[in-house]
Amino acid sequence: MTVLLSVYNGAPYVRSAVASILNQTFADFEFLIIDDGSTDGTRVVLDTFADPRIRRLVHPTNRGLSVSLNEGLARARGRYIARQDADDISLPERLGRQVAFLEAHPDVAVVGGQARLIDAAGRPIRARMLAKPLSRVGVRFKVMFDGPLIHSAVMFRHALVRDGFGGYNLAWPTYEDYELWSRLTEAGCPMANLSDVLLEHRHHAACITCTYDPLAAERVRNRMRANLQAICQCDDDFADWLDFWTAVLFAKVLPPPSRSGPALEALDRIHRRFTQLHPEPKARGEIQWHLACTLMTAFHGCIRTRPVTALRCLARALRTHPAATLSIAWDSALRHLARLISRRTASVDSIARPITHSSEPSL
């Protein structure tokens, strides 16, 4: 088994990421670390590790994550590949549990897990919307709207992804994992998530998934359209929903979403069609949970610019899965309260701080 980590200027966090892999209860693996042209202190940090399981590759310049991961797939020796990001932390039993699952389920291509969201300082962030679907049907539903797996928490079959699918798509410098999961779904390859929390997933300003751009939005929209048509087995292009949802996901670079009425009607069609094709009673609750999560994401994305649209999304979420909606709303309220307390504390500290004189100019 190979653990694959690519790092670019990850000095603040890479030590914890590497240590979390070396401290796994499952110890039979190689650890392939690719330094993708780092210019900070990453190399110095990596030099402090002398574990014989580590193999290091160094790029003289930054080539991008997709290129680095494909190089890792070409050089890896393991039957399974476990991904690890340079700013995340794997919990000690992660690898053992995922290897056991893939051994027991030879038809499953990829297995992920749940994650705790942490901030730059490692403090936990409440975020139930990070929860990923457990069943294969749930993963299939989720990929129509969002990533069904956490990239840094997955383990997949090496030969299948490398030889059967050609690895990562180099035309996708970001969201490369979503594109790969989409192709696997389209080909009918089963994927699943464990219910166990396997990872502490760090959210900070410098993470690559925070760098949105219009080209990425177009790529993701086109891929979602293909997923919807393939999974729902229909010719409906769901344009109203796709325009609306893409504007929510890429709010930093796209105008605020509009035409919520037609968009939500299209979402209803998607839900009805999917449940007709997948009538399994056990999956119904999970599908409704993740539909409510999607609607609540739209609610939060619209609340400042389109409050009426936001309320429509909230009402739909409550009808779809009241428990999920209230849980997400409660977490959001707690996060908002924590921010208010933090701002108030900072304000009080600034007032109480003694005035000092300095020759340095102020910004």
Q: Is 188 helix (H, G, I), strand (E, B) or coil?
A: coil
pLDDT of residue 355: 36
Distance CA 178, CA 108 (A): 17
pLDDT at residue number 203 = 81
The CATH class of 2-210 is alpha beta
Q: What is the pLDDT along the chain (363 residues), one digit of tens a residue?
A: 999 999 999 999 999 999 999 999 999 999 999 999 999 999 999 999 999 999 999 999 999 999 999 999 999 999 999 999 999 999 999 999 999 999 999 999 999 999 998 888 888 876 655 689 999 999 999 999 999 999 999 999 999 999 999 999 999 999 999 999 999 999 999 999 999 999 999 887 666 555 568 899 999 999 999 999 999 999 888 999 999 999 999 988 898 887 789 999 999 999 999 999 999 888 899 999 999 999 999 999 999 999 999 999 999 999 999 999 998 888 777 766 766 776 666 554 444 444 333 333 334
**Apex CA 153: angle with CA 152 and CA 156, to 5°?**
100
Strands 2-7 and 80-83: parallel
Looking only at the bridges linking them, the beta strands covering 191-202 and 89-90 are antiparallel
Domain coordinates in residue numbering, the chain: 2-210, 214-335
Give the model's pLDDT for residue 131: 84
Taking the CB of residue 123, how many other CB atoms lie within 10 A of it? 9
pLDDT of residue 321: 95
Q: What is the pLDDT of residue 138?
A: 95
Cα torsion 333, 336, 342, 348: sign: negative
Say how many C-beta atoms besides its own lie within 10 A of residue 184's C-beta: 22
Token digits of residue 184: 């696997």
Going by their DSSP bridges, the two strands 30-36 and 2-7 should be labelled as: parallel
